[in-house]
A and B are shown apart, each in its own frame.
Chain A
Amino acid sequence: MEIQFYLNQDLISVSNRDPTQTLLDFLRLDRKLTGTKEGCAEGDCGACTVLIGQINVDKELVYRTANACIIFLPSVANCHIISIEGLASNSSDLHPVQQAMIEASGAQCGFCTPGFVMSLYGVWLKEPKPSKQKILNSLQGNLCRCTGYGPIIEAALKATQGNTISNSEVNMQKKKWKKKLAELVASKKAISLDRSGSFFLPKTISELKEILCHNEDGTIVAGSTDVGLWVNKAFRSIEPIIFIGQIDELRQIKVQKDKINVGSLASYTDLMATLPKHFPALKQYINQIGGDQIRNMGTIGGNIANGSPIGDMAPVLIALGAKMVIVNHVRSRKINVESFFQSYGCQDLKPNEFIRSFEIPLLKKQGSLLSLYKVAKRRYEDISTVSAAFYLEHFAEKEPRVRFVFGGMAGIPKRAKALEKVYSRKAFSTGSDHIISKAIAMDFNPLTDCRGSSKFRLKLAQNLFIKFLLYVNDRIEIDVEKGP
């Protein structure tokens, strides 16, 4: 099967190759574009950062940063890839972010530098004068071991605050590329159902249904932020692969009267654009998931389908009482997200099914609350040691309705039923540490691993709940970043 995409200025057609070849290997080995580096091959260091331009559901061309090391080539079909080589057309003509990196001495060994430049380019393209906080957010997926980051942040501020390239020029370029990509999409033959290859590229939900019906052993790949590691690190064979990134219907987020419908292919970045308006706690919480590249790639559907006990979206959805729509070629069913997780490694999903969307009930106008917490070894771009989602309805009344959910405390993301019970009976005030810790010890027996001991996890769960109570009862917020 042939796929096409643009790489910098060139139209590329590739066919007959291993569908798990990464975009990074394609750039470095096939195209000899060695500016993009491999630092970790698992999407955690950002040395392989490239920009991917794709036409989104609103028919806009959007460029987002991504980790080329865990993207399989078919994922970029019909996209526009910009690598570091595509940024400066010739050596005397540097982009403002490159110029700023030189002026601020933003590099020492230089190995992480192309990745940083691409992330800076990404933030530069996104908005004219981003705040320092936004710049820091956009750099969460890039590691540097030499500089201590100061000069890079300085370069970012320099390049974005004194932006010398006019908006109209950028828009003109975007218009040009949007046209080219639209032509590319339109010119595609009906390749999606081709069964000769080892992968599929469906464009519609009905195509996906049919493919799954005939390929129950298939692996669905969306953002590949986890599947990329199955292949790169564990050498798992995942063929036939069903790349669902072209199915626009799955990407939609619709706000309705009392709920939000979120397509399973919505990325964390997509969620960030809509959800925090309705659930303010999600703003900080989503920001603590991955780096910018991972937030651009990773999807809500993948996060849940994966079944991980430390997937960060699960506690949120369970706490909110969200439902999920699961479909195959013959039927569609709706279940609670909570019941999707059966036991460690076991989910309520048949081989021919896929997650279509999530239905998230909106908060009641008055008297309901969602608080979210995540503790990890490092505050940003880290996997949770413990995450917590606390939902409270009618908390002024005698018998409040509550859902307290923890990640990282059991083999699945799980509600703390004993804790919920004691709380519902008597909505205790702060200072009831003993009752809380007893209830949590009844609910959980967490494991000890490199992220923390069992004892630490129990203590964290208890204290996160105390933190929540402080907020509910006294409106006290404790956060080292926000300060006193």
Chain B
Amino acid sequence: MLKKVRDLKEKRKSDVITLVSKLESEKHESLRKFVTGKALYIDDMPTEVEALHAYIGKADFARGEILEIDFKAVSSFPGVIDVFTAKDIPGVNDISPTGMNDEPVLVDREVSFFGQPLFVVVASTRLQARKAASLAKIKKVEREAFLDISDEQHKDYKLVTEPLTLARGDIAKGLKEAKYRVSGNMHIGGQDHFYLEGHIAMAKPEESGDLLILSSTQHPSEVQHMVAKVLNLSSNQVVVKVKRMGGGFGGKETQSNLFAVIAAIATHRIGQTVKIRPDRDDDMIMTGKRHSFFVQYDVGFSENGQIKALDAQLSANCGYSSDLSGPITDRALFHSDNCYYYPNVRLTSKPVKTNTVSNTAFRGFGGPQGMLLAERVIQEIAFFLDKDPLDVRKLNLYGKAEKAITPYYQRVTDNISKRIIDELVVSSDYYERRKEVIRFNKGNPFLKKGIALTPVKFGISFTATWFNQAGALVHVYTDGSIIVNHGGTEMGQGLHTKVLGIVASELGVTLDKIRISDTDTSKVPNTSATAASSGSDLNGMAAMYAAKKIKKRLEIFIAKKYEVDKKDILFKGNNVFFDGRKHPFTEIVRNAYLARVQLWDAGFYRTPKIHWDRKKGKGRPFYYFSYGAAVSEVLIDVLTGEYRVKRVDILHDVGNTLNPTIDLGQIEGGFIQGMGWLTNEELYWDSGGVLKTHAPSTYKIPLASDRPDVFNIRLADWAKNTEKTIKRSKAVGEPPFMLAISVHEAVTMAVASIGNYKSNPRLDTPATSEVVLDSIGRIQSEKLV
């Protein structure tokens, strides 16, 4: 027995850091509550007194000035209790997340986008508040809205924040000396988050003006700071709690500030609990989306397809304010290389100000747009040289020595893209199937197939280095039950499930002994947003540290009291093994309590090694990279432009997985969401700057029937993180999203078959059936000429 324990402990120590053993359960901790309808979201939570309801009155034009608002019909509407405007805000009228002071809660005069919040109505019921908010008479002067960032006429556009340039090598020389050169451009569409639970916040009055805020947010600490700032309170007067969100995807990183702050102002004025939940249409009109981009590129390459130089400009439609557009456009540049080495490179961002809602974080955070540019460049070379794009991809992969340097001077030292691609080529039978696709296209005039393999390399860490920190609390009660609290929020991604698994295995207890309490700014302070795929990397580690401290104290206590060697103690299955016997965990805990041993502790983690100098464009912004690749096969209808994804094969790297079920769920869900972005999900603004696709009736996310007929997903089970992350795992939230670029490339091939693969269809995204049919028409007319 003793030897077995020692062996086990030795085995554990043989790993570089102490690792958690296989998790007790892989399933999402709330599944049972989900399927019975018992999981509580904010709108489901009972309040002691019926809450009042706030609603936002919004601008009905995209740009101009408010002269006067007549509130008569609003205030006299049945049930209305209060109406307030910008003038009534007690503190600072700004919720810009990066301190740019460019995002008012409510506007006074200058309107910058259709749907901008102007005033707030509070009423007894939500329906009364909603109806009343639509009754204001607004006198205004309208001016022409600026919407199109690719419009050459608009040389006088403004930027919302400082642009960035990443440059390495000699771009002019590189382009000049390259044998071939191709330039072009691409429109990349935005995307609505379409979290199923829309935005919502509730503010409850506490003693002496203090507030409790329930918010559907990925960033409770920021909500706390914004509420304090807008109400002129100090942060210690505001507590923000998050139980769970019904989806976030980045859409609740900064966008939840508005609703939380409005509920808080209303509660501050009236002294009662106030809730705000915008209707789906208003949610889509009033909150930011993924940035649309217009990218221009000029690439020089050799006769075999080796990239010699790339010069590219990435203009982003940021909307009216900066929000997170700075870091998002930065990340777009950081991913404009994807897996490829550019000997000479210059990448420039242009965060352009327009008259739409301010665009914001969305899974991938600019990365997908940058990566799409990289794959477009590969595509151009492949068409130019009449090669299989995969061969061009393989030829340009990052390598060793100088071929491992990114445009931002970080070295790619953990590169597994080649092995991933090679294995996927075999498991998906890529080359045979490509031959078959080409054969098929020869014999079918009206249906065409396309197949493509695209890889992904995604940098993990917040590029703002200071965000890479996290805290956690672990409390062990005298009955042996445990509560864990950490700074991360749960939005469906399974973070709580992973953290539970980590703590359970550290303390050797089963999952039914542990609960995770709501994320709460009064427990773990100064948290970072649950974003950038970093949730379990950061919070998981913090929770493990906290659990370790408690365990260490228990070991010291046991060693002293029972006179055993600390090395011979093992925590497992709700028992503690030592002395050749098993002792119930509860008994040990109770005895430790009586001996006045501290049974709770905090853990803190900060990511090592990272640094980034934005001015110089140099550093190591990422702790490590996550890799993956996908092969997609599509079938298109030449007459209608409709298409179907027939088969997808994915091989993805999550390092040593913390939870395969949850990781596979992230990969599949991320892929389908990415597929939606590139295929059906079209945001359409009319010439007056009015978003016309503001509900699921007009904005089409993928359905169950859109899932590929054959969908094989595998984890690269041999992959381990070369860095000392929790259990050597890797982040999984964002990287799989970009695997869907393979769908876009496959559609490109299918369309190109019309012109015998000679001409690049240069499909913009989303490649709706209209885009595809248009491109087919273009290629057909080229053929006639």
Partner of A478, one of B195, B244, B639: B639
A139 and B703 contacting across the interface, CB-CB below 8 Å: yes
**Contacts of B233-247 to chain A: CB distance below 8 A:** 244-247
Asked if A51 is at the interface (CB within 8 A of a chain B CB), the reply is no
Question: Could you mark each residue 105-117 of chain A with 1 if its beta carbon is under 8 Å from any beta carbon of chain B, else 0?
Answer: 1111111111001
Asked if A32 is at the interface (CB within 8 A of a chain B CB), the reply is yes
**Contacts of A71-111 to chain B: CB distance below 8 A:** 83-85, 87-88, 91, 94, 98, 101-102, 105-111
Task: List, in ascending order, chain B residues with CB within 8 A of A42's CB.
Answer: 280, 695-697
Minimal Cβ-Cβ distance residue in B for A111: B246
Minimal Cβ-Cβ distance residue in A for B634: A480
A111 and B41 contacting across the interface, CB-CB below 8 Å: yes
Partner of A146, one of B244, B447, B669, B671: B669
Asked, given contacts A45-B196, A145-B195, whether A98 binds B446 with beta carbons under 8 Å apart, the answer is no
B36 and A110 contacting across the interface, CB-CB below 8 Å: no
Among A35, A108, A467, the one with the most B-chain Cβ atoms within 10 Å of its Cβ is A108
Asked if B223 is at the interface (CB within 8 A of a chain A CB), the reply is no
Question: Could you mark each residue 649-675 of chain B with 1 if its beta carbon is under 8 Å from any beta carbon of chain A, else 0?
Answer: 000000000000110010011111100
Partner of A88, one of B30, B36, B131, B247: B36
Asked, given contacts A40-B696, A140-B704, A149-B704, whether A110 binds B33 with beta carbons under 8 Å apart, the answer is yes
Which of A55-63, A320-328, A373-381 contacts its partner? A373-381
Number of A residues near B (Cβ < 8 Å) is 82
How far is A21 from B234 in the complex, measured between Cα atoms in Å? Answer: 42
How far is A172 from B679 in the complex, measured between Cα atoms in Å? Answer: 47
Asked, given contacts A41-B280, A480-B447, whether A35 binds B36 with beta carbons under 8 Å apart, the answer is yes
A34 and B44 contacting across the interface, CB-CB below 8 Å: yes
Task: List, in ascending order, chain A residues with CB within 8 A of B684's CB.
Answer: 449-450
Chain A binding surface SS class: loop
Asked if A456 is at the interface (CB within 8 A of a chain B CB), the reply is yes
Asked if A460 is at the interface (CB within 8 A of a chain B CB), the reply is yes
Nearest CB on B from A478, distance (A): 5
Asked if A383 is at the interface (CB within 8 A of a chain B CB), the reply is yes
Nearest CB on A from B136, distance (A): 14
Asked if B426 is at the interface (CB within 8 A of a chain A CB), the reply is no
A101 and B43 contacting across the interface, CB-CB below 8 Å: no
A453 and B770 contacting across the interface, CB-CB below 8 Å: yes
Chain B binding surface SS class: loop
Question: Could you mark each residue 624-666 of chain B with 1 if its beta carbon is under 8 Å from any beta carbon of chain A, else 0?
Answer: 0000000000011101101110100000000000000110010
Nearest CB on A from B619, distance (A): 34
Among B36, B198, B637, B673, the one with the most A-chain Cβ atoms within 10 Å of its Cβ is B36
Which of A150-158, A262-270, A408-416 contacts its partner? A150-158
Partner of A377, one of B281, B670, B682, B774: B682
**Contacts of A460-483 to chain B: CB distance below 8 A:** 460, 463-464, 466-467, 470, 476, 478-481, 483
Asked, given contacts A110-B246, A139-B703, A377-B769, whether A39 binds B196 with beta carbons under 8 Å apart, the answer is yes
Partner of A102, one of B27, B703, B706: B27
Task: List, in ascending order, chain A residues with CB within 8 A of B197's CB.
Answer: 37, 39, 109, 111
B281 and A233 contacting across the interface, CB-CB below 8 Å: yes
**Contacts of A138-172 to chain B: CB distance below 8 A:** 139-140, 142-153
Task: List, in ascending order, chain A residues with CB within 8 A of B769's CB.
Answer: 375, 377
**Contacts of A404-461 to chain B: CB distance below 8 A:** 449-453, 456, 459-460
Partner of A35, one of B26, B37, B249, B707: B37
Partner of A150, one of B46, B194, B279, B711: B711
Task: List, in ascending order, chain A residues with CB within 8 A of B692's CB.
Answer: 449-450
Asked if A393 is at the interface (CB within 8 A of a chain B CB), the reply is no
B704 and A142 contacting across the interface, CB-CB below 8 Å: yes
**Contacts of B104-137 to chain A: CB distance below 8 A:** 130-131, 134
Asked, given contacts A98-B36, A108-B494, whether A464 binds B640 with beta carbons under 8 Å apart, the answer is yes
B244 and A110 contacting across the interface, CB-CB below 8 Å: yes
How far is A114 from B39 in the complex, measured between Cα atoms in Å? Answer: 10
B661 and A105 contacting across the interface, CB-CB below 8 Å: yes
Task: List, in ascending order, chain A residues with CB within 8 A of B644's CB.
Answer: 379, 480-481
B245 and A109 contacting across the interface, CB-CB below 8 Å: yes
Asked if B700 is at the interface (CB within 8 A of a chain A CB), the reply is yes
**Contacts of B268-320 to chain A: CB distance below 8 A:** 279-281
Nearest CB on A from B604, distance (A): 28
Minimal Cβ-Cβ distance residue in A for B694: A450
B768 and A110 contacting across the interface, CB-CB below 8 Å: no
Asked if A44 is at the interface (CB within 8 A of a chain B CB), the reply is yes
How far is A106 from B34 in the complex, measured between Cα atoms in Å? Answer: 10
Asked if A54 is at the interface (CB within 8 A of a chain B CB), the reply is no
Nearest CB on A from B778, distance (A): 12
Nearest CB on B from A169, distance (A): 21
A377 and B36 contacting across the interface, CB-CB below 8 Å: no
Asked if B693 is at the interface (CB within 8 A of a chain A CB), the reply is yes
A107 and B28 contacting across the interface, CB-CB below 8 Å: yes
Minimal Cβ-Cβ distance residue in A for B30: A110
B637 and A479 contacting across the interface, CB-CB below 8 Å: yes
A32 and B46 contacting across the interface, CB-CB below 8 Å: yes
Partner of A40, one of B27, B131, B246, B695: B695
Asked if B688 is at the interface (CB within 8 A of a chain A CB), the reply is no
B247 and A102 contacting across the interface, CB-CB below 8 Å: no
Partner of B196, one of A109, A152, A233, A450: A109
A113 and B35 contacting across the interface, CB-CB below 8 Å: yes
Nearest CB on B from A94, distance (A): 7
A149 and B249 contacting across the interface, CB-CB below 8 Å: no
Task: List, in ascending order, chain A residues with CB within 8 A of B643's CB.
Answer: 480
Asked if B701 is at the interface (CB within 8 A of a chain A CB), the reply is yes
A149 and B707 contacting across the interface, CB-CB below 8 Å: yes
Asked, given contacts A148-B707, A149-B704, whether A109 binds B195 with beta carbons under 8 Å apart, the answer is yes
A150 and B668 contacting across the interface, CB-CB below 8 Å: yes
Task: List, in ascending order, chain A residues with CB within 8 A of B244's CB.
Answer: 109-110
Task: List, in ascending order, chain B residues with CB within 8 A of A148's CB.
Answer: 665, 668-673, 702, 707
Partner of A147, one of B46, B444, B669: B669
Among A84, A117, A139, A460, the one with the most B-chain Cβ atoms within 10 Å of its Cβ is A460
How far is A396 from B26 in the complex, measured between Cα atoms in Å? Answer: 64
Asked if A12 is at the interface (CB within 8 A of a chain B CB), the reply is no
Asked if B698 is at the interface (CB within 8 A of a chain A CB), the reply is yes
Asked if B83 is at the interface (CB within 8 A of a chain A CB), the reply is no
How far is A146 from B671 in the complex, measured between Cα atoms in Å? Answer: 10
Asked if B176 is at the interface (CB within 8 A of a chain A CB), the reply is no
B493 and A483 contacting across the interface, CB-CB below 8 Å: no
A40 and B280 contacting across the interface, CB-CB below 8 Å: yes
A146 and B704 contacting across the interface, CB-CB below 8 Å: no
Task: List, in ascending order, chain A residues with CB within 8 A of B35's CB.
Answer: 94, 98, 101-102, 106-107, 113-114, 117
Partner of B635, one of A36, A381, A483: A483
Asked if B214 is at the interface (CB within 8 A of a chain A CB), the reply is no
A84 and B37 contacting across the interface, CB-CB below 8 Å: yes
Nearest CB on B from A389, distance (A): 16
Among A45, A150, A463, the one with the most B-chain Cβ atoms within 10 Å of its Cβ is A150
A452 and B770 contacting across the interface, CB-CB below 8 Å: yes
B635 and A480 contacting across the interface, CB-CB below 8 Å: yes
Nearest CB on A from B702, distance (A): 8
4 tightest A-B CB contacts, nearest first:
A35-B37, A109-B492, A111-B246, A110-B34
Chain B residues within CB distance 8 Å of chain A: 26-28, 30-41, 43-44, 46, 130-131, 134, 193-198, 244-249, 279-281, 440, 444, 446-447, 491-494, 635-637, 639-640, 642-644, 646, 661-662, 665, 668-673, 680, 682, 684, 692-693, 695-698, 700-707, 711, 768-770, 773-774, 777
If A105-B28, A148-B672, A464-B639 are given as contacts, then 13 extra A-B residue pairs at C-beta distance below 8 Å, sorted by A number, are A39-B280, A41-B279, A42-B280, A109-B245, A110-B39, A145-B195, A148-B670, A148-B707, A378-B702, A450-B692, A450-B693, A476-B446, A480-B637
A sample of 28 inter-chain contacts (CB < 8 A) reads A37-B41, A39-B197, A40-B696, A44-B695, A91-B32, A98-B35, A98-B36, A101-B35, A108-B494, A109-B248, A110-B39, A110-B244, A111-B246, A114-B34, A137-B705, A139-B704, A145-B673, A148-B673, A149-B672, A149-B703, A375-B642, A379-B705, A449-B692, A451-B698, A463-B639, A463-B640, A480-B447, A484-B635
